[in-house]
Amino acid sequence: MAILLSSNAQWVLVSTFLLGIAAGLIGTLSYWKQQSLMSDALAHAALPGIVLAFIVLREKNLLVLIIGATISGLIGAFCIQWIRSFSRIKDDAAMGMILSVFFGLGIMLLTIANRLPGGNQSGLESFIFGQAAAMVKQDVYIMSLLALVVILAVVLLFKEWKLLLFDPAFGQGLGLPIRFLNGFYTVLLVLAVVIGLQAVGVILIAALLIIPPVSARYWTHSFKGMLVLSALFGGFSGAVGTLISAMGSGWPTGPFIIVTAACLFLTSLIFGLEKGLLVQYLLHRRQKRSVSPKPIPPDWGMPPKVREG
Amino acid sequence: MSYTAWILLTASLVGLTCGLVGTLLILRRMAMMADAISHTVLLGIVIAFLATRSLHGIHMLVGAALAGLLTAFLVQWLHARGVREDASMGVVFTTLFAIGVILIATQVGNAHLDVEHALMGEIIFIPFNVTQLPVVGEVPLATLTLLIVTILVIALILLFYKEWKITSFDPALAASLGIPVGLMHYLFMTMVSVTAVASFDAVGAIMVVAMLITPAAAAYLWTDQLRIMFVLSGLFGVLAAFIGYYTAVWLDTSVSGSMAFATGLIFLVSILLSPKYGLLGKRLRPAQGEVK
């Protein structure tokens, strides 16, 4: 448990906890926007930005890398939008293309960056699967701060998000700046994705935005309840996954966080109060029991006879 | 054959197979399913590796095919239980991928299988791992696997050409004609997984998505005919392989990365210049109404 002994250990835990909360919150918004896989595309699209920022600066300054990642993620989002609206290529194909082509560009640049003097020790690879242990104090502060910004933005604008997601026409009628809110949502989404890159990694950060809301959905029907639960699930996965990955040397953080989230999902799928498998099974059985003792009428399924007289 | 020739041949085979399979992916609107399967194939490979301690041979294909089918099945199963399809895809493939990465990081350790190889492919090492064939002599193992898979894919497409066409464009009609739509779906998922694993050595788990989707999407902008789309998409895949290889040599960088990037360039040219659906084509024919 090296991570617990080191000086900034608790801080790393706090930051992955906050990251999980932020991801769970913004993930709920994208769940209802029906854009779950968008975060996956954005995360992959952020890779070239990270590497380019490193090549230009020649040092691993997390803030600059995050700015690079944000710009490149936003370019990716713009490209998806552009392909979707100006050609007959569908949504999913556009996302798949941007995701893989940007990732390819990122890998090209990464190979070049590794050849630069000092590039080999840069630890840029840790961005692919996430390495929370590689974070220094400054990284932790930046990450926690940005996660707090995302959390506050979702919580403070709760009413606005609700209107935007469920009745944008009504919101427009109330004078809500829908276009601005949509843009702001994309910025928050990209932000939540890029701050998670160092801890969870390019490939799996999307899962931290996708899995908690889907799990929360099994417990509640209310939007507010879903936000709270999803945030809790995300935060729990972030913290516990970080702890587990700290038990082995060189174990990547991202996969453990995601597997923790997946365990929560499985629990919700089975025991969840709304549409959980167990509840559904019990309901089904009770219904069968309440129905089956009655004798089935002999003309079951026949058209009702017209009574004469 | 020389070293370069083997690499180019391998890369072209990747481009060709992926282009052909990708055409059906685009038409069936299952592009993100390719992303999901290419990730979970990793788990199949790791488990096959743990079981046999070897990275080559038929069990890799079987493991990958099973992992792909498992993905398709789980996504379908969750979807049937009320989870939206994209969300259930996101849950399933990331979880299986994470399990695969954990297995690599904890079990396989520094063996022949490492995470970076799995992600980026090692096309430059392919010519070193050869096997002896009766007539042609020494052939790289990965190239041979790819060749077999390519032939298999072409055979399956030609054999069921009509069925693919009907199930892709009008599944309801296909079902009413008595074509087993569900079976075709899972056969197709198997094809995608086997293609992904055969290309795995060459381009890795993520760049194979670029090879699968992008050439086909580019071809989709040039034609309305399925036959031409197949041919074009395969050609674009091969073209991307050549452009990618020479770019990589020129810049001294990752071959698989620049192959993926080259598919993006081909798509960009297509979306700009295609006479019918490209931006330029639309600009030149302003008089015609917008037809979707």
Q: What is the pLDDT of residues A163-189, one digit of tens each?
A: 999 998 998 898 889 889 999 999 999
List, in order, residues 6 or more apart from A82 with CB less than 8 Å away: none
For residue A104, what is the nearest residue in chain B, using CA coordinates? Answer: B257
- Among the listed ranges A72-86, A292-306, B169-183, B244-258, which one has the minimum average pLDDT value? A292-306
pLDDT at A118 over 80: no
CB pairs under 8 A between A and B: 198
B98 touches chain A (CB under 8 A): yes
Q: How many CB atoms lie within 10 A of CB B50?
A: 15
As a whole number of angstroms, the distance between CA A249 and CA A6 comes to 14
As a whole number of angstroms, the distance between CA A283 and CA B44 comes to 37
- Average pLDDT of span A291-300: 61
More confident residue, B37 or B113: B37
Q: Is residue A214 part of a domain?
A: yes
As a whole number of angstroms, the distance between CA B143 and CA B146 comes to 5
For residue B279, what is the nearest residue in chain A, using CA coordinates? Answer: A86
Q: Is residue A273 part of a domain?
A: yes
Alpha carbon of A40 to those of A37, B209, B216: distances in Å? Answer: 5, 13, 21
Whether A35 and A193 have beta carbons less than 8 Å apart is answered as: no
pLDDT at A301 over 60: no
Given this model, what pLDDT does residue B199 score? 86
B residues 109-128 closer than 8 Å to A (CB): 115-116, 119-120
Q: How many CB atoms lie within 10 A of CB B290?
A: 5
Query: Which residues lie across from B137 on neighbouring strands?
Result: B133
Q: Which uninterrupted H or E stretch holds A250?
A: none
Q: Looking at residue A236, which CATH number applies to its domain?
A: 1.10.3470.10
For residue A253, what is the nearest residue in chain B, using CA coordinates? Answer: B102
Q: Is residue A20 part of a domain?
A: yes
pLDDT at B227 over 90: yes
Given this model, what pLDDT does residue A299 score? 56
- Number of folded domains that form chain A: 1
Side chain identity at residue B247, one-letter code: T
Given this model, what pLDDT does residue B150 score? 94
Question: How does DSSP classify residue B28?
Answer: T
| Whether A37 and B29 lie within 8 Å, measured CB to CB | no
Instruction: Calculate how close chain B gets to A107, using CA atoms only, in Å.
Output: 5
Domain extents in chain B: 3-280
- Burial environment of residue B283 by CB neighbours within 10 A (0 to 12, 13 to 18, 19 or more): exposed
pLDDT at B111 over 60: no
pLDDT at A284 over 80: yes
Q: Identify which of B84, B209, B213 has the shortest CB distance to residue A34.
A: B84
As a whole number of angstroms, the distance between CA A263 and CA A252 comes to 18
Q: Is residue A32 part of a domain?
A: yes
Given this model, what pLDDT does residue A288 score? 85
Q: What is the pLDDT of residues B146-182, one digit of tens each?
A: 999 999 999 999 999 999 999 999 989 999 998 998 8
Largest CA distance in chain A: 101
Domain boundaries B3-280, CATH class: mainly alpha
Given this model, what pLDDT does residue A134 score? 73
Residue linked to tokens 């020389």: B2
For residue B115, what is the nearest residue in chain A, using CA coordinates? Answer: A129
Residues of chain B above pLDDT 70, percent: 92
Question: How does DSSP classify residue B216?
Answer: H
pLDDT at A1 over 50: no
- Burial environment of residue B187 by CB neighbours within 10 A (0 to 12, 13 to 18, 19 or more): middle
Side chain identity at residue B290, one-letter code: E
Given this model, what pLDDT does residue A111 score? 87
pLDDT at B292 over 60: no
Comparing CA positions, the residue from A184, A198, A211 lying closest to residue A47 is A198
Hey, what are B173's tokens? 């009609």
Q: Is residue A90 part of a domain?
A: yes
Q: Identify which of B95, B271, B278 has the shortest CB distance to residue A262.
A: B95
- Average pLDDT of span A78-98: 89
As a whole number of angstroms, the distance between CA B60 and CA B81 comes to 31
Given this model, what pLDDT does residue B101 score? 85
Q: Is residue A302 part of a domain?
A: no
User: Average pLDDT over chain A, rounded to whole?
Assistant: 86
Q: What is the pLDDT of residues A223-261, one digit of tens each?
A: 999 999 999 999 999 999 989 888 877 788 889 999 999
More confident residue, B114 or B211: B211
Whether A107 and B120 have beta carbons less than 8 Å apart is answered as: yes
Q: What is the pLDDT of residues B176-199, one digit of tens each?
A: 998 998 899 989 998 998 898 888
Best of B21, B206, B268 to mutate (most A CBs within 10 Å, chain A): B206
B residues 263-282 closer than 8 Å to A (CB): 263-264, 267, 271, 277-279
Hey, what are A231's tokens? 């945030």
Q: What is the pLDDT of residues A189-229, one digit of tens each?
A: 999 999 988 888 888 899 999 999 999 999 998 999 999 99
Question: How does DSSP classify residue B131?
Answer: E
pLDDT at A302 over 60: no
Q: Which chain A residues touch B212 with a CB distance below 8 Å?
A: 96
Q: Which domain holds residue A263?
A: 7-291
